[in-house]
Amino acid sequence: MLKKMWGVLPSILLIGFLSMLFAEVFAGSSQMWFVNGWGIFFTFPLYLAHVLFFLWIALKIKKISLPQLYLFGVIFALYESWITKVLWAGYLDQAGPAMGTIAGIGISEFSILVFFWHSIMSFIVPILVFEILTGQIFKEHSMILKKSAKKTKFIILFLILISTFIAMGNKYNLISTNLSLIGTLLLILGLYYSTKKSNLKVFEFSKIGFAITTVYLLLLYIGTFFFLLPERIPHTPMPYISIILFYAFCIFIIRKSKRIDTEFQQLEEDHYSIDDLKKFALIIIISVNIAVIVPTVSMFILAVTYFILALTGTILFISVVYKTLK
């Protein structure tokens, strides 16, 4: 058993690093997390455990289509209520939700974090990039991974816009910004060579492994809820009711959706490849350095992008629910 666990360790670390890159580093929330005790022992295990937990369930019940993974990602994102309390108390540097609340929940915070950021960046994008790196993709994901000029332009534009988040999160410090981004990219590159023969099925591990992950998450939720930022705990029932209803609603939609074939296919020439990922990495590195040099312009782009992503996330959630029910 230990030998088997050691064999899958590079794959586990890789998907964890990918989640950290797209969720935390791209958001500018974790600066040089790989040399920071909080980043290594708290933030990284948090993201890794969430990805492993929800991916295991998705594989086990064969609900691996993008809409289904998106809904798992929405549930993933609800950790922001229990651990950081952001969904009802606003960001850590704010006195409360930026645009007020509905049913006890921050409007803008919920829209971007739940409907877009964690569902897409923390969960779906790491899964898709993992498939590209290993060269083994689910047939269900073949279309989304096929290259097109339109997709490539969109990805490049998105990377340019997101570079402003990285720059601001690192307080426009050139050294911190580059070390945070390039350091994480190098960690991923190092593990890439150890996971070439892997695929997503490696995360369909034993029930014991799933039980350990579950217990860890339960302890994390309970411990951080009471001891991390206890002053942000709501004293009215409405925030709790809203979050619990969202859990129930997403689970209901997932259960209503159809099972998907989990057959693999090889990455083909018309799919995005490791070479494309290297080009995208170079683009984000160049963009983030420009964003650091022109902070005024960068801050304006960030504000506009934040609003667009919040709106996009809301539309995306409604669309996924509608199509799944239909």
CA distance 311 to 237: 27
The percentage of the chain sitting over the pLDDT mark of 70, rounded to a whole number, equals: 98
pLDDT of residue 5: 57
Beta bridge partners of 271: 146
pTM: 0.96
User: In this predicted model, what pLDDT tens digit does every residue of 55-95 receive, in sequence order?
Assistant: 999 999 999 999 999 999 999 999 999 999 999 999 988 88
pLDDT of residue 235: 93
SS (H, E, C) 24-55: HHCCCCCCCHHHCHHHHHHHHHHHHHHHHHHH
For helices 44-60 and 207-227, give the axis angle rounded to 10 degrees: 140
Taking all residues of the chain, what is their mean pLDDT, rounded to a whole number? 95
Domain count, the chain: 1
pLDDT-derived band at 6, boundaries 50, 70, 90: low
Are 265 and 139 contacting, i.e. CB atoms less than 8 angstroms apart? yes
pLDDT of residue 1: 45
Are 292 and 177 contacting, i.e. CB atoms less than 8 angstroms apart? yes
Statement: residue 10 has pLDDT above 80: yes
CA distance 60 to 65: 13
Are 26 and 165 contacting, i.e. CB atoms less than 8 angstroms apart? yes
What does the pLDDT average to over 260-283? Answer: 96
CA distance 134 to 272: 12
pLDDT-derived band at 324, boundaries 50, 70, 90: confident
Which among 228, 298, 239 is positioned nearest to 96, based on CA atoms? 239
Statement: residue 2 has pLDDT above 60: no
User: In this predicted model, what pLDDT tens digit does every residue of 179-200 receive, in sequence order?
Assistant: 999 999 999 999 998 888 899 9
Give backbone dihedrals phi and psi of 89, rounded to 5 degrees, phi first: -115, -5
Q: Quote the domain boundaries for residue 241.
A: 2-325
Give DSSP secondary structure letters for 210-251.
Answer: HHHHHHHHHHHHHHHHHHSSGGGS-SSSHHHHHHHHHHHHHH
